[in-house]
Chain A
Amino acid sequence: MKHWLSKNLIRIYAAAAIFYILLPILYTVAFSFNDADKRNIVWQGFTLSAWLNPCEPIGICEALGNSFKVGITATIASTILGTMIAFALGRYNFRGRATTNLLIFLPMATPEVVLGASLLSMFINIQIGAGLVPVIIAHIMFCISFVVVTVKARVASLDPKLEEAARDLYANEWETFRRVTFPLVAPGIAAAALLAFALSFDDFIITNFNSGTLNTFPEYVWTASLRGVPPQANVIGTLMFVIALAIVFAGQVISKRRQTRR
């Protein structure tokens, strides 16, 4: 018994740590079924009413829609811009590498309050009102660095011999990229896009500085938390969690299939 315990201590620890990580998520899921109106803090009993009427609280679905608008636009733009930078860094030797790396690293090393405050200062100075466009601009900005880091890792793990082989077989530069390079880097780009969407969808601090009267889902939750968050917010949180989990597991199944086919 003692031997078994000492051998498996680290596994037991890992299970406990994962329970700790999941605990507030389980709470969020459980309280989406709570029979409470606004003060969704104490368990009152099971109900499906929040799930059946997710848009009931005023403004919640509008805020969700805004989050999707911002998230999708920011994901597409930052994935394109970031992937281009990642290819340049991973594939080319050029002057100014160190400066480029610094410019990519700094936004990640700057606290969100500072990013939000500096953007707001600029928008005030050039007299552009806060709202949807400034929020999208800000989200693209902070997502780029994370896309670069994610895609660069994938580009760097790509054997240049595969591209040489394509050229030996008379593929031109564009064909090589389309038929060889891009399919190999695609999983990295997909992961980067998911990360960008998750970062954008969940951002509160930078958004709050630049949104003005626009409400995103995190901003809705923040405002609601002063009076009491309705269970519908938990419904949306739970749905997003399940969808994200499904995408990740589907991605793992696909990459496993690819590996066995190879």
Chain B
Amino acid sequence: MSIAHTSSSEKVFAPAKKSHRTAYLLLAPGLVWLLIFFAFPLLNLAETSTKTPAPSFETGEFVQTFRFANFIDSFSANQEQFFRSFFYALCATVLALAISYPLAYAIAFRSGVWKNFMLVMVIAPFFTSFLLRTLAWKQILGAEGPVVSVLQFLRILPADATITATAFSVIMGLTYNFLPFMTLPIYASLDRIDYRLLEASGDLYANSATTFRKVTLPLSMPGVVAGTLLTFIPASGDYINAQLLGSPGNFMIGNVINSRFFRVVDYPTAASLSFILMASILVLIVIYIRRAGTDELV
């Protein structure tokens, strides 16, 4: 998933040295940090997920009772938001793929001197705040924005209709916000394709559609797989888009986890929901990677 790798001409050299000690010294500080502040917190999350309210019923006080039924309870109470999260994330991923693939193709093969400029434009959203961008979409799609006005003028939308606070605008926001994560890996794998392979395919009397289907597309699959995962994972856990562009009827599992932690102060439910979310994403990733047939992840 090397997003940053952009130049095609560079060879890749396998690691050669065999000094274990130096390697472990280099690894130790960073890996210890990840163990303490990534792995250990996950254990804490697991521990919190089976707690129950303290007998005193004081807010925020819980005792460990190993109540694994917490998982079943919190899942069945929030099934709707779970399925909605995965459905929205799936829609956003498919849309982002449809928008990104031709764009990445154009940058890799048809951009000429504009290549670097276009790449910078693709990552331009990273340079402005995620929240400001999403709020800008709320403005653009909002009741007083240009899109609704034009559609109402053309009588496509009735006078009192809105686009924000619908599933459409949430999916739109998710698609937009994670688009660079889809475009860059696809571009990287397209850019690595040896152009002579495409010429060879033409020499063997394949027309351009056949060349695309039999040569270009299969060779770009690692990028498609990486891009799909990099879009789907953050999209399924997101709650910003649902909060800003949707209504409570569009809330996703992230919204539930967030409000369980901060509004309801129900840590065990929030923790068990987080765990179910993470576990289901990992299962989906494993199935998807098996299907797609690549295991080159990092």
Contact = CB atoms under 8 A, between A and B. Distances in A.
B74 to A, nearest CB: 13
Nearest to B244: A225
A85 B298 CA distance: 13
A158 B11 CA distance: 8
B12 to A, nearest CB: 5
A25 interface: yes
Interface residues of A, dominant DSSP: helix
A93 interface: yes
A94 B27 CA distance: 11
Contact of A149 (B2, B135, B237): B2
Interface stretch (B28-36, B65-73, B75-83, B213-221): B28-36
Contacts of A254: none
A205 interface: yes
A93 B129 contact: no
Nearest to A218: B131
A118 B277 CA distance: 13
B45 interface: yes
A111 B118 contact: no
A248 B270 CA distance: 40
A100 B13 contact: no
B18 to A, nearest CB: 5
B234 A112 contact: yes
B266 to A, nearest CB: 12
A225 B132 CA distance: 9
Contacts of B11: 157, 159
Contacts of B234: 111-112
A196 B215 CA distance: 36
Given A101-B297, A110-B281, A113-B277, 10 more contacts: A14-B102, A88-B23, A94-B24, A103-B39, A120-B261, A121-B41, A141-B38, A157-B11, A241-B127, A252-B116
Interface of B: 1-5, 7, 10-13, 15-20, 22-24, 26-27, 29-31, 33-35, 37-42, 44-45, 47-48, 99, 102-103, 105-107, 110-111, 116, 118, 120-122, 124-137, 139-140, 142, 144, 176, 179, 229-230, 233-234, 236-240, 244, 253-254, 257-258, 261, 267, 270-271, 274-275, 277-278, 281-282, 285, 297-298
25 contacts: A14-B106, A25-B133, A28-B136, A82-B30, A84-B26, A85-B30, A85-B31, A93-B23, A94-B20, A110-B233, A111-B233, A111-B278, A112-B234, A114-B274, A118-B274, A121-B41, A121-B47, A121-B271, A122-B45, A124-B267, A150-B4, A156-B12, A221-B129, A225-B135, A240-B127
